[in-house]
Amino acid sequence: MSKKQLIMESALELFAQQGFDATSVQQITEHAGISKGAFYLSFKSKDELINGLIDHFMLSLISDIDQVVKNHETDANLLYEFYQAAFHSFQKHSDFAKIFIKEQSKTLNEELISKIHQYDKLIDNIILGMLDRIYGEEISQTRYDLIYCVKGFIHTYSHLILFFDVPLDLHTLSRSLAEKTALLAKHSETTFITEELYHTINEPFHVHVTKEQLLEMVEQKIEEVDDSTLEESLTLLKQQMIEPSLSPAIVKGLILNLNNSPACKQIAFLIQGCLGV
Amino acid sequence: MSKKQLIMESALELFAQQGFDATSVQQITEHAGISKGAFYLSFKSKDELINGLIDHFMLSLISDIDQVVKNHETDANLLYEFYQAAFHSFQKHSDFAKIFIKEQSKTLNEELISKIHQYDKLIDNIILGMLDRIYGEEISQTRYDLIYCVKGFIHTYSHLILFFDVPLDLHTLSRSLAEKTALLAKHSETTFITEELYHTINEPFHVHVTKEQLLEMVEQKIEEVDDSTLEESLTLLKQQMIEPSLSPAIVKGLILNLNNSPACKQIAFLIQGCLGV
DNA sequence: TATACTAATGACTGATTGGTCATTTGTCAA
DNA sequence: TTGACAAATGACCAATCAGTCATTAGTATA
């Protein structure tokens, strides 16, 4: 495990317990068994660490959900699968999820708030795509309202999953929420969040990872992975981003390779967006 | 305005902008135009101030909602009125609502977390009472699930109200959420939060304000109020709490007097509970 | 072994914090 | 005008913080 990862894992644990502000760099380095100076060899500042954590786990969550929504053929169970994926991802990264719920829109930098807002919009788009696919024209009036309902459901029930040590039946929960969402989608008539209102609210934010940033991330990932298939796939896709030469089928296949590895799902999602597949 | 109130208002504004940790006592006192020493004449510590703010505004919110639910005769529009009351209360105390949403279950003292949990349970009970009153046996299987849905709705839509400077139509919002809640209450069948699960989760917490604490609060309130009717009502009710002598009708009337004043609604709610009216 | 290099350390700095307390200021009745 | 008391002040303290840097430890090459 690289030093960066070690620090991130130690920090994550402490942040989940105590929050960002209440956790000192000293504590993190002690918990990781390294010196304070070593921390600043891996991260320029505490803020950079927080930034990195948010990027890492938000992308993980988003790519988890996105993959399920994209790869699910029969729309019948899609809602159920969506909720399953979301809650499983929360459970898998429960430390980060705790931070995300607790510190959401706290007193962070402008930069961080904007970043979180961007990820939030990504999630909105995934949910919207899913709803449109299932219900189509049927929900043309209420689709934006439904996004907020779905996010409301996830938020409240996440509390249970994260902050109580009770064994929960995620299957029943997902089934229950799928039922509720379907009810709202089929019978809800009053519209509160019109398309206009939705866009007014989200106007100033645009999602964007520059190609340069992404290339850098790919390079870093190449050094991290052990599997040769993954390494090769990443290298080829990096080349493709610099100078397209491969056929679409090959590119899709390479991205699938990455999607099969939990460690590469996130970067797969980004490459996918960059190459427009 | 008493010094205590001045400090609380100044602190509230800064807390809403920056959060608890990021706001120093120095900043608060500068903003209030007093010295640092003067702060500690009114509050034993920064924590005591935070405690006071939470008590003050949570009670305000809860008594606002409770009054609407209790006093609404026709159950037809009750859901709508409930959401209206909740969002109006949020809008009225938007500074505090922001803090409440932002710092919810952050890294506060054990004491504070428990306190917030207690208020949360109070809200649960009000919602549950309302739902039972409207739907009765019809929702016997899903009543606890419905609480979480209602709270989920309020949470997500509160974000819009609090963090975007868009003029919002609370009437339409409340109507929309009333419709959605009714849909779920009437047609939802899958139960996730069973009665047993609900009680397991909330077991260790019990709401309690001791009579002594309440008497002290009443005394303080007597000194604060200007109106003679309010002062008299408070004094009589205080006597009643120490040694019951008035008829139930008089007690009810006195509480109504308090309910008519925004400044006394909260303490009215507590006295009501203490006297079992 | 000697040299050159990087990785890692932790004492240190300057800034900021919550909270204290000797001192000053303001306000009464005598 | 005086003296007694309460209200208010802000310099001060110890603790803690993020971040730095001179120094040391470890390692690979010659």
Read off φ and ψ for residue A78, nearest 5 degrees.
-60, -45
What pLDDT shows up at residue B206? 45
Question: What domain range includes position B216?
Answer: 211-275
B120-150 tens-digit pLDDT: 999 999 999 999 999 989 999 999 999 999 9
Residue B21 is part of a domain; what is its CATH number?
1.10.10.60
Mean per-residue pLDDT of chain A: 86
Question: Is residue A39 located within the same domain as residue A52?
Answer: no
Q: By C-alpha distance, which of A124, A119, A99 is closest to A20?
A: A99
Interface of B with A in 19-78 (CB under 8 A): 19, 21-22
Answer yes or no: do B152 and A148 touch at CB < 8 A: no
Q: Which residues from chain B sit within 8 angstroms of residue A189, using beta carbons?
A: 179
What stretch of H or E contains B163? helix B143-163
> Does pLDDT of A165 surpass 80?
no
Burial track A37-65 (b if 16+ CB lie within 10 A, e otherwise): eebeebbeebeebbbbbbbbbbbbbbbbb
Six token digits for residue B168:
């919002």
Question: Is residue A137 located within the same domain as residue A25?
Answer: no
Question: Is residue B192 located within the same domain as residue B219?
Answer: no
Q: Can you say whether the dihedral through the CA atoms of B88, B91, B95, B101 is positive or negative?
A: positive
- Non-local (6+) Cβ contacts of B20 within 8 A are B50, B99, B103, B106, B108
Q: Give the DSSP letter string of B19-74.
A: -STTS-HHHHHHHHT--HHHHHHH-SSHHHHHHHHHHHHHHHHHHHHHHHHHH---
B164-215 tens-digit pLDDT: 877 788 999 999 999 999 999 999 999 999 998 898 888 765 456 778 778 8
Distance separating alpha carbons of residues A29 and A9, to the nearest angstrom:
11
Give alpha helix (H) positions in chain A.
3-18, 25-32, 36-42, 46-71, 78-92, 94-102, 110-135, 143-163, 170-187, 195-202, 211-224, 228-242, 248-259, 265-275
Q: Please give the distance of CA A18 from its chain centroid, rounded to a whole number.
A: 22
Q: Contact at 8 Å (CB) between A215 and A242? A: yes
Answer yes or no: do A188 and B183 touch at CB < 8 A: yes
The reply to whether B180 touches chain A by the CB within 8 Å rule is yes
Question: Is residue B192 located within the same domain as residue B258?
Answer: no
Amino acid in position A272: Q
> Does pLDDT of A134 surpass 90?
yes
- Facing B152 at nearest CB: one of A102, A152, A173: A152
Question: Is residue A241 located within the same domain as residue A265?
Answer: yes
Domains identified in chain A, total number: 3
Question: Is residue A197 located within the same domain as residue A105?
Answer: yes
- Facing A188 at nearest CB: one of B163, B172, B180: B180
Q: Give the DSSP letter string of A83-134.
A: HHHHHHHHHHTHHHHHHHHHSTT-S--HHHHHHHHHHHHHHHHHHHHHHHHH
What stretch of H or E contains B152? helix B143-163
- Non-local (6+) Cβ contacts of B269 within 8 A are B59, B62, B63, B66, B67
What stretch of H or E contains B80? helix B78-92
Residue B81 zone, left/alpha/beta (φ > 0; ψ -120 to 50; rest): alpha
> Does pLDDT of B42 surpass 80?
yes
What pLDDT shows up at residue B192? 94
Question: Is residue B127 located within the same domain as residue B176?
Answer: yes
Question: To 10 degrees, what angle do helices A228-242 and A265-275 make?
Answer: 20
> Does pLDDT of A106 surpass 70?
no
Residue B193 is part of a domain; what is its CATH number?
1.10.357
- By C1' distance from the Cα of B35, the closest nucleotide is D9
> Does pLDDT of A220 surpass 80?
no
Neighbours of B169 (CB within 10 A): 11
Read off φ and ψ for residue A186, nearest 5 degrees.
-85, -30
Neighbours of B191 (CB within 10 A): 16
- By C1' distance from the Cα of A48, the closest nucleotide is D18
> Does pLDDT of A22 surpass 90?
no
Q: Contact at 8 Å (CB) between B3 and B34? A: yes
Q: Contact at 8 Å (CB) between B134 and B75? A: yes
Q: If 0-12 CB within 10 Å is exposed, 13-18 middle and 19+ buried, where does residue B276 land?
A: exposed
- Which of A87-96, A105-114, A139-148, B28-37 shows the lowest mean pLDDT across its residues? A105-114
Q: Which nucleotides of C are covered by protein (CB under 7 A)?
A: 7-12, 16-22
Answer yes or no: do B173 and A152 touch at CB < 8 A: no
Q: How many residues does chain A have?
A: 277
A36-78 tens-digit pLDDT: 999 999 999 999 999 999 888 898 899 999 989 888 877 779 9
Six token digits for residue B104:
């919810």
Q: Which nucleotides of D are covered by protein (CB under 7 A)?
A: 7-12, 16-22
Amino acid in position B146: L
Contacts of range B232-238, beta carbons closer than 8 Å, 24 or more positions apart: B233/B257, B233/B258, B234/B258, B234/B264, B234/B267, B237/B271, B237/B275
What pLDDT shows up at residue A104? 63
Q: How far is A22 from chain B (nearest CA, A)?
A: 8
Amino acid in position A116: I
Q: By C-alpha distance, which of A108, A9, A35, A93 is closest to A59?
A: A93
Distance separating alpha carbons of residues A186 and B190, to the nearest angstrom:
17
Q: Contact at 8 Å (CB) between A20 and B102? A: no
Name all protein residues with C-beta less than 7 A from any atom of nucleic acid chain D: A 23-27, 36-37, 40, 45-47; B 3, 34-38, 40-41
The reply to whether A16 touches chain B by the CB within 8 Å rule is no
Distance separating alpha carbons of residues A85 and B193, to the nearest angstrom:
20
The reply to whether B157 touches chain A by the CB within 8 Å rule is yes
Q: Which residues from chain A sit within 8 angstroms of residue B104, using beta carbons?
A: 102
What pLDDT shows up at residue B233? 86
Question: Is residue B227 located within the same domain as residue B177?
Answer: no
What pLDDT shows up at residue A210? 78
What pLDDT shows up at residue A1? 64
Six token digits for residue B67:
């009054």
> Does pLDDT of A128 surpass 70?
yes
> Does pLDDT of B21 surpass 90?
no
How open is the CA angle A68-A71-A75, to the nearest 5 degrees? 85
B107-126 tens-digit pLDDT: 566 777 788 888 899 999 99
What pLDDT shows up at residue B248? 83
**More confident: B57 or A112:** B57
Answer yes or no: do B151 and A148 touch at CB < 8 A: no
Q: Contact at 8 Å (CB) between A84 and A170? A: yes
Read off φ and ψ for residue B176, nearest 5 degrees.
-60, -45
How open is the CA angle A46-A49-A53, to the nearest 5 degrees? 145
- Non-local (6+) Cβ contacts of B209 within 8 A are B270, B273, B274
Q: By C-alpha distance, which of A104, A152, A101 is closest to A124?
A: A152
Amino acid in position B176: S
Q: Which residues from chain A sit within 8 angstroms of residue B172, using beta carbons?
A: 190-192
- Non-local (6+) Cβ contacts of B71 within 8 A are none
Question: Is residue A25 located within the same domain as residue A154?
Answer: no
- Please report, rounded to whole angstroms, the spatial distance between the CA atom of protein residue A238 and the C1' atom of nucleotide C5: 32
> Does pLDDT of B157 surpass 70?
yes
Question: Is residue A61 located within the same domain as residue A140?
Answer: yes
Mean pLDDT of the region A22-29? 92
What pLDDT shows up at residue B150? 97
Question: Is residue A28 located within the same domain as residue A55?
Answer: no
Last residue of a domain, one of A143, A169, A202: A202
**Residue located via tokens 């996730």:** B192
Question: Is residue A144 located within the same domain as residue A215?
Answer: no
Six token digits for residue A170:
């995620």
Mean pLDDT of the region A188-201? 89
Last residue of a domain, one of B202, B224, B249: B202
> Does pLDDT of A195 surpass 80?
yes
The reply to whether B148 touches chain A by the CB within 8 Å rule is yes
- Facing B152 at nearest CB: one of A153, A173, A175: A153
> Does pLDDT of A206 surpass 50?
no
Interface of B with A in 189-228 (CB under 8 A): 189-193, 197, 200-201
Residue A195 is part of a domain; what is its CATH number?
1.10.357.10
